[in-house]
Structure 1
């Protein structure tokens, strides 16, 4: 098979996976219905159609079909379990809202869910087993050459060797500079750039990754021109850009090609997915937590003077000012140009407020802010305007956290960086995790953070 045909085959794999998933969902329902003599009426067929639509929606929005050669298999299995579970919950919720629950058998739904989950994971296990067996026998491996014996090149090689199930085979480093000049220990060169070109011409390699500093623009341009005399796939791995790019994409302005460095990561269909998820999650959260919200409001009103809710000014998406609501936990209502963060044993905190802050229950009203669109369920926590103005001058890339909506919970909070930021290094760590979240955003990442929040995000020693 030539390379062009091979590329077409790879591009068709996600489509085949989608078809297989739909087949598993459909066959599972038919099997359960047959075993328990449940007639497949038009109502069941309509539910099947809705189920496959919802499943594909969540599969695409969480990147399930984009992870074919990336990441751990255990992560994909976990993602399949979450997508399947959420899809069934959504469909059941729709049936409940339309008051059609009596039309369907609960046992049929439960067994359909279990059989679908087993089938969706099962065929992927078989696929993985056959793929790994072919890789071990040397079939279908994509041979990779790295041009540039650099730190980023070594990191890339280590990733290839760390995950053999991805199907890559490292051929060697190629660089026109001597190893002594590079000052990199315990590494050897397989040749120069021309040697890599000869391998490419002889179909001995499939892909070349250029791992050179962007400062070496002339050398990079020469290498690309040299490799253009082959059909090998060429990728450029920039050095410093890797840690600062926000979902970098190649685009153009007129006839001029551009690479985005700082760009809003959630746009187009992804923006729709995230907003739809926020609306659904916040609606059900407010509905289910209504008794808790009422009890907290009564406790605040009967134990201290002042309003139940505290409205704060914050920066939202694109740095625009928004209002964020919390249950009042202090005897004062600070919202000025200078805000003093709460400290351990702070006299301003009420008795009820201390409990609310320690358990993060004071932030529950922010589900209303999510519902109206000022916030998201998951995102960087909103800082006071005064703190924003202070730290944007002290922490590199600070304002990039406003490329997405602020969230009720976030990746930084899950990793322990919440509460008082009394030192600069604490704020720097918080921003580091915020930017990591933005760079790696997906709906699956949001679901993962929400799940972890239940166990790690509510109560924290730094919350007071």
Structure 2
């Protein structure tokens, strides 16, 4: 059975992880050999549990790499950014290993071996990443894509996926106008052939056709598309192409039927059970780690200003049901004396402590109790206030679909889009929320959880 391109990308990321797992393990082995060379007794003692110790180092470092977005399918990094993320990943992975060695001394491999292994591993992984980046940036390794259509919908590919980093997996060979439909795409990007679509795909060596008409009725050459599909050329709808390449669902081109018959939106009992188990484990673990910071935050809020430490606010949850969300108070008590309004950048209603805890996301920690109580999930769309939900339901198409799952403490939209403070921002974030709702799963949740570490550490999106 032929795998979809999205499945192939996931498999490629999995193979990359396995390869780097092997590289880190090899680095530990080399470091141990160098460190214990000439000391047979120490080498024998290490060798007795070497496989387990080596695997723990590899798992911790690659997990840290995942938390810094280095296994994210939809993102590309320049060389400086790549090495910065690798340096941070291996630093945090090393700290995590030191904590593990303190808790479980039997896993200890020695400071010298660990330092040497991490230094060697970061060089090996960095070289592998650069080599693969150069290799797969070559046009010969990319899917050659022809867009059927040259109107407004087709031009979305040209405008929204215009950067080279947006096109790291495909090469756009051109736009083929559809007879009788408007043409928006600039002339240099258009292609044509008197012999027809099938012959054009042969001339341009096309691997995939993206169908992007402005009007579907009677305008598509279905027999020619069928002939192309029989020749092995992939035929993809525009919404599916955006979902695959950008990790979002384009609201203005997707039809209800495309969502209905997509095969996503998993609400099966196994999914609900593993989702709840994931929520309980993640929330409980974070609560055990974060309670000292929570006590310190509460004390600072109490010392700075009069008023409650916790702030309670009604939000809209699963199936549109309201629940009471709990946060640390970060604003003055009279912050909304003039009515409901958006939180803004450098909001002057925030207290000094409040501005800091918002930046580092400490104000969100009491929501762990919402997760344990079942009002929220650990991963999902962020819950909004009823006032804004009513507004968005009237103005934004498909907004209500995001309420088919529990809201989350973190989510795909938070990773992919900065903090929103307008209807336009809410619409942009909905593209990523719908992608999550449609493609949710335990693996996806775990990936989002790990990458949230990067958001917290670098303060992206906080307001």
* TM tier, smaller: 0.5 to 0.7
Once the two structures are TM-superposed, the CA of residue 164 in structure 1 deviates from its matched residue by 9.9
SS at 1:259's partner residue? coil
Tell me: CA distance 1:308–1:377, structure 2 relative to 1, closer, same or farther (3 Å). same
Once the two structures are TM-superposed, the CA of residue 27 in structure 1 deviates from its matched residue by 0.8
SS at 1:219's partner residue? coil
Aligned 1:64-463 pairs, distance under 5 A: 67=73, 71-72=76-77, 74=79, 87-98=93-104, 100=105, 103-132=108-137, 135=138, 139-140=140-141, 142-156=143-157, 159=161, 162-163=164-165, 166=168, 168-177=170-179, 182=183, 184-187=185-188, 189-192=190-193, 195-200=196-201, 204-213=205-214, 215-216=216-217, 219=220, 221-238=222-239, 242-244=249-251, 258-259=261-262, 279-287=284-292, 289-293=293-297, 295-296=299-300, 299=303, 304=306, 308-327=309-328, 340-341=339-340, 354-359=351-356, 360=358, 362-370=363-371, 374-375=375-376, 380-385=381-386, 387-389=388-390, 392-402=393-403, 403-407=405-409, 411=414, 415=418, 417=420, 426-439=421-434, 450-453=453-456, 456=459
Q: Hey, what's the Cα distance between the residues in 2 that align with 1:168 and 1:102?
A: 44
Q: Hey, what's the Cα distance between the residues in 2 that align with 1:144 and 1:438?
A: 27
Once the two structures are TM-superposed, the CA of residue 150 in structure 1 deviates from its matched residue by 2.6
Please state if 1:48 is matched with 2:47. no
* Structure 1 unpaired stretches of 5+: 418-425
Q: Hey, what's the Cα distance between the residues in 1 that align with 2:221 and 2:68?
A: 35
* Structure 2 unpaired stretches of 5+: 37-41, 244-248, 437-443
Kept in 2: contact 1:278–1:370 (CA 8 A) = yes
Once the two structures are TM-superposed, the CA of residue 96 in structure 1 deviates from its matched residue by 3.6
Q: Hey, what's the Cα distance between the residues in 2 that align with 1:60 and 1:413?
A: 15
Once the two structures are TM-superposed, the CA of residue 26 in structure 1 deviates from its matched residue by 1.0
SS at 2:231's partner residue? coil
Once the two structures are TM-superposed, the CA of residue 31 in structure 1 deviates from its matched residue by 1.5
The total of aligned residue pairs comes to: 423
Once the two structures are TM-superposed, the CA of residue 124 in structure 1 deviates from its matched residue by 2.0
Q: Hey, what's the Cα distance between the residues in 2 that align with 1:11 and 1:316?
A: 30
Kept in 1: contact 2:301–2:353 (CA 8 A) = no
SS at 2:145's partner residue? strand
Counterpart of 1:421 in structure 2 is none
SS at 1:182's partner residue? coil
Q: Hey, what's the Cα distance between the residues in 1 that align with 2:300 and 2:141?
A: 60
Output the TM-score relative to the length of structure 2: 0.67
Once the two structures are TM-superposed, the CA of residue 29 in structure 1 deviates from its matched residue by 0.6
Kept in 1: contact 2:382–2:407 (CA 8 A) = no
Kept in 1: contact 2:209–2:234 (CA 8 A) = yes
Once the two structures are TM-superposed, the CA of residue 93 in structure 1 deviates from its matched residue by 4.0
Q: Hey, what's the Cα distance between the residues in 1 that align with 2:83 and 2:197?
A: 37
Q: Which has the larger radius of gyration?
A: 1
SS at 2:303's partner residue? helix
Q: With CA pairs under 8 Å and 6+ residues apart, which has the higher RCO, 1 or 2? A: 2
Q: Hey, what's the Cα distance between the residues in 2 that align with 1:261 and 1:193?
A: 40
Q: Hey, what's the Cα distance between the residues in 2 that align with 1:249 and 1:66?
A: 28
SS at 2:196's partner residue? helix
Q: Hey, what's the Cα distance between the residues in 1 that align with 2:254 and 2:190?
A: 32
Q: Hey, what's the Cα distance between the residues in 2 that align with 1:272 and 1:398?
A: 27
SS at 2:21's partner residue? helix
Tell me: CA distance 1:78–1:230, structure 2 relative to 1, closer, same or farther (3 Å). farther
Tell me: CA distance 1:108–1:319, structure 2 relative to 1, closer, same or farther (3 Å). farther
Kept in 1: contact 2:239–2:253 (CA 8 A) = no
Kept in 1: contact 2:147–2:176 (CA 8 A) = yes
Counterpart of 1:420 in structure 2 is none
Output the TM-score relative to the length of structure 1: 0.67
Q: CA RMSD of the aligned region, Å?
A: 5.3
Counterpart of 1:26 in structure 2 is 25
Kept in 1: contact 2:31–2:113 (CA 8 A) = yes
Q: Hey, what's the Cα distance between the residues in 1 that align with 2:252 and 2:288?
A: 34
Counterpart of 1:36 in structure 2 is 35
